């Protein structure tokens, strides 16, 4: 496990706030010398603690303000093998699927979707998911309030 110190945490917090911050700005805001900031960021990138720089989109303005979680149980038809990993990859290709995981317990797969409307959610469920081989019962939970942490 990689051990982060206070300087690394300060640098990462600022980059999470705004990945476009220059090294000069990070040095000013943290009080860490510029050369140290440069060295730390390069080391965090090399050690793959920082995997990529990205943007945080305003999903509501893009028409994806509704969040729902879909619990999926895999059905195993007689004589057929269903590979959960392959099924997960297949259903996560949908543009509305923001996150997908295989679970241990009563539910096999959970999907987090960001979708524009109930109508689109209904289409996703009835026309796409339920027609995908291996998808059995689904249960949908609609989020009433959502806080995203970076």
Checking if the pLDDT of 109 tops 80, the result is yes
In this structure, the answer to whether residues 136 and 73 fall within a common structural domain is yes
- Give Cβ neighbours of residue 10 (< 8 Å, ≥ 6 apart): 30, 32
The answer to whether residue 150 scores a pLDDT higher than 70 is no
Same structural domain, 84 and 36: no
Report yes or no on 57 lying in a domain.
Answer: no
Q: CA 58 to CA 32: how far, in whole Å?
A: 31
* Structural domain total, the chain: 2
Q: Are residues 40 and 73 in the same domain?
A: no
Query: Is residue 147 included in any domain, yes or no?
Result: no
CATH number of residue 87's parent domain? 3.30.70.920
Q: What is the CA radius of gyration of the chain?
A: 21
Domain presence at residue 93: yes
Across the chain, mean pLDDT equals 93
The CATH number of residue 14's host domain is: 1.10.10.10
What confidence tens digit (pLDDT) does each residue in 49-70 have?
A: 999 998 877 777 877 889 999 9
Q: Which domain holds residue 19?
A: 6-46
pLDDT single digits (tens) 1-39: 888 999 999 999 999 989 999 999 999 999 999 999 999
Q: 70 and 17, same structural domain?
A: no
Instruction: Indicate whether 10 and 76 sit together in one domain.
Output: no
Residues 29 and 88 in one domain: no
Q: How far apart are CA 109 and CA 119, in angstroms?
A: 22
């Amino acid at each position: 496990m990689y051990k982060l110190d206070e300087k690394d945490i300060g640098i990462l917090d600022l980059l999470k706030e705004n990945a476009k911050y220059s090294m000069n700005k990070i040095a000013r805001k943290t009080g860490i010398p510029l050369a140290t900031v440069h060295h730390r960021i390069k080391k965090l990138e090399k050690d793959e603690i920082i995997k990529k720089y990205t943007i945080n989109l305003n999903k509501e303005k893009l028409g994806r303000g509704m969040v729902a979680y879909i619990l999926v149980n895999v059905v195993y038809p007689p004589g057929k093998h269903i590979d959960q990993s392959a099924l997960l990859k297949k259903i996560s290709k949908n543009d509305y699927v923001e996150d997908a995981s295989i679970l241990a317990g009563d539910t096999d797969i959970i999907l987090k979707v960001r979708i524009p409307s109930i109508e689109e959610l209904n289409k996703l469920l009835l026309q796409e998911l339920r027609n995908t081989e291996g998808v059995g019962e689904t249960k949908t939970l609609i989020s009433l309030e959502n806080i995203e942490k970076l």
